[in-house]
Amino acid sequence: MRSSIDPKLDFDRVPYDDYVHATTLHRLQRTLSDDPGEMSFLMISQVMELYFGLIHFELVGVQKKLRDDDVWGSLLPLRRAALHLEGLNAGWQTLRWMTPGDFHRFRNLLGEGSGFQSAMYRRLEFRLGLKTASLIRPFHHQPEVYAELEESLREPSVWDDVIALLARHGHAVPDSLLVRDFSVEHRAHRAVEAAWVRIYADDGPENRLRLLGEALTEVAERFDDWRYLHLKAVRRSMGNRTGTGGSSGMTWLRRSMTRLVFPELFTARTVME
């Protein structure tokens, strides 16, 4: 007889597996060699993909709140996104054991495969405002994925919605920033920078835009951490070699780090008092 504190053990189906699909997840690690390092690399890559999707999901929710002028409501999904980025970044720590020799024992099995070709990462970048139209080209042979990427490219980013919010709150934002081709990456603008200087000058408890700025800053900084940790992982495992997908490896990653997420939040700090 089962006591009141024992878990129920008899089911027609396992409810946990029905909900989490754990069995399916654990069948997705299909390595091409017997090298144990490949299992680490593959599984961490898959975990990172799941985090990309989760962070993207949160940012879509942020945009819905911003478009409804619900600044307070946008803060929690931004906080969650920042914490998810911390989880994502922790994945790099579990690969720190990998020497060049460890990586090169299975690197050739990747062929031309590369994280550079992650569709969900690309959608996440677009959502954060880092727009490069040519980067959706590899997905032409996946019509559904290509359509999702094209839509993400053309939609306003989180930062575009923040700028529109600032305009609705009375800040002098030029129309050229509000009605434009959103597939083209936003460039830092003095009017947006000036708006953030004014917002941060008011440190009163009712200034929700200042809270929004700090929540966005946290997301931007954690995303910068991701890019830097990626660079470090590549430097550790393969130095300046060409990337598996044909990119210039570390040179490409260094260049990508110069593109700021939410740029005026940082340029404005030069003149804040």
User: Residues within the annotated binding site for substrate?
Assistant: 107, 244
> Residue 246 carries which side chain, given as an amino acid letter?
G
Q: What is the CATH number of domain 34-270?
A: 1.20.58.480
Measure CA 63 to chain center: 15
User: Minimum mean pLDDT among 2-11, 12-21, 79-88, 227-236: which range?
Assistant: 2-11
Task: List the structure tokens of 264.
Answer: 């005026």
**Residue-wise burial string across 4-13, b where 16 or more C-beta atoms lie within 10 A, e elsewhere:** eeeeeeeeee
Binding residues: 107, 230, 244
| pTM, to two decimals | 0.91
Query: Rounded CA gap, 86 and 248, in Å?
Result: 27
**Rounded mean pLDDT of 144-161?**
97
As annotated, the binding site for heme includes 230
Nearest to 257 by CA among 61, 110, 125, 160: 125
What pLDDT, in 10s, does the model give residues 87-137? Answer: 999 999 999 888 888 888 888 888 777 767 899 999 999 999 999 999 999
Half-sphere exposure in the Cβ direction for 175 (13 Å, CA): 0
Q: What is the pLDDT of residue 251?
A: 77
Mean of per-residue pLDDT scores for the chain: 91
Q: What's the whole-number mean pLDDT along residues 12-30?
A: 91
Number of H helices, E strands in the chain: 13, 0
Domain boundaries, the chain: 34-270
Reported as a single tens digit per residue, the pLDDT across 39-85 is: 999 999 999 999 999 999 999 999 999 999 999 999 999 999 999 99
Type of residue at 167 = A
Which of 256, 35, 66, 26 lies closest to 159 in space, CA to CA? 66
